Amino acid sequence: MEEGLTLSFSGTIKKTGWRHDMKKRKIILAASVLGTAAVLGKKKLINETVTKQLIPRHWDEAEINERLRDFTQFLADGNEEKIASFVLGKSIKPFKSLKKQELTFLTAHFLSMYKVKGNSSNNLRGLVSYRVATPKKEYTYLIKVARLGVEKLDWYIQKVVEQDHGINYPNQYLLQLTSPRPNEELCLIETDAGTITMRVFQQDAPKAVKNWRGLAKQGFYDGTPFARVIKDFVIQGGALDGSGDEATSIFGGYFEDEVDEGLYHFDGAVCLGNHGPNTNGNQFYIVERNHIDNDQLYRMNLPHKVRSHYEAVGGIPELDGRYTVFGQVIEGMSVVREIASQETDDNDAPLNPIKIQRITFKRIRKIK
């Protein structure tokens, strides 16, 4: 006898098959919640045949956001019956740790949507990134969802494909979003195209800042060009043009990364270039991208406020965690964009490179 499911008029699921000895199981799903077709389809959802890939419409995104926003509220309330009405089978288990916590719904975003073979009114499926936060952590769930029902169609959590263990909020303000403090030392990069003013973050990237300040005061960068420029990406300086050893640093050679979770590749971030992990020397680059690829951003496990700032100002989030961020431009991004817009050869070297005249430091005495 083949294993299967049958629905009795009492709403009881009978599990049949020689392995189960005709055991009965009751489920908390009434026909009014999922509909008979959805209940009968629970077992069949396991091995479905995809017939067509779809592009999610804006109202599809609105639907899944509204649905999972409600789900988040029921998790916070610990409402078992309501929670059960959103999920199929044992999909609730990964969410148990979130029950009766202070929760904030962040985002829900379709990564893919597709049709499966079967009933045309119950054949939509999707893969969704669902993000929710407690006061201390943010969680990301990659979930499969199914659009099911009889009189009313709704999205249901079919399976949790993957989940993280929660990422901590940065334990400090995002320094790149704050204003300079009184008596803070700023760095001025004077170039042929104008002056770029930046903050440096000594506390978060001490070796990078110490090396930058030391080389600058030695005049290492004076007269050197921005030797690699890519519009909507970066402008890069240091010993890239063969004028010196890229490993030159005040530490006598390459030094280790300082990849801090509180510093990110926002537009205007100043960072160390390298040849791989822990190969920092004198190379540096400034991020020049005032927009963001939202599809890519949603695939990254970033704190909500970090994601929001990327959406607001742009940047290159795919470089986070790989390169040391040690500063942020606060004035002179127009100069950065002018440098980035230069005509280049096939190796991204500018035909008429703009050079650094000198790098100086000054302290702010009074905030305007």
- Does the pLDDT at position 24 exceed 70? no
Q: Provide the residue type at 141 as one letter.
A: Y
Mean pLDDT of 35-48: 52
**Mean pLDDT, rounded, for 236-248:** 78
**Is the pLDDT reported for residue 188 higher than 50?**
yes
What are the tens digits of pLDDT across the range 141-174? 999 999 998 888 999 999 999 988 887 765 546 8
Neighbour order of strands in the sheet with 356-363: 228-230, 234-237, 284-287, 269-272, 325-331, 194-200, 185-191, 356-363
Long-range contacts, 315-322 (Cβ 8 Å, 24+): 315/264, 315/265, 315/266, 315/267, 315/269, 315/287, 315/289, 316/233, 316/234, 316/265, 316/287, 316/289, 317/264, 317/265, 317/292, 319/265, 319/271, 319/287, 320/259, 320/264, 320/265, 321/259, 322/259
Strand-pairing partners, residue 7, are 13
Say whether pLDDT at 304 is over 60. Answer: yes
Backbone φ, ψ for residue 140 (5° rounding)? -120, 130
| pTM for this prediction | 0.67
Q: What whole-number distance in Å separates Cα of residue 14 and Cα of residue 24?
A: 5
Share of the chain above pLDDT 90, in %: 59
Distance CA 230, CA 288 (A): 8
Tell me the per-residue pLDDT of 107-117, one tens digit each, with 9 for 90 and over: 899 999 999 98
Q: Where in the chain is the domain with CATH 3.10.450?
A: 48-168
Question: What is the pLDDT, as a whole number, of residue 299?
Answer: 67
Domain with CATH 2.40.100.10 in the chain: 175-363
CATH superfamily of 175-363: Cyclophilin-like (2.40.100.10)
Is the pLDDT reported for residue 176 higher than 60? Answer: yes
Which structure tokens are listed for 155? 């999205």
Strand 137-148 to 167-168 pairing: antiparallel
Would you say residue 54 has pLDDT above 90?
yes
Better pLDDT: 35 or 69: 69
| Residue positions counted in the chain | 368
User: Quick one: pLDDT band at residue 15, thresholds 50, 70, 90?
Assistant: very low
Residue 6 scores a pLDDT above 90: no
Tell me the average pLDDT across 50-65: 93
Question: What is the C-alpha separation between 262 and 297, in angstroms, rounded?
Answer: 17
* Contact criterion met (CB below 8 Å) for 283 and 228: no
* Structural tokens at position 107: 């985002």
Instruction: Indicate the fold that domain 48-168 takes in CATH.
Output: Nuclear Transport Factor 2; Chain: A, (3.10.450)
Q: Are 36 and 150 in contact (CB under 8 A)?
A: yes
% of residues, the chain, pLDDT over 70: 83
9 contact partners, CB below 8 Å, separation of at least 6: none
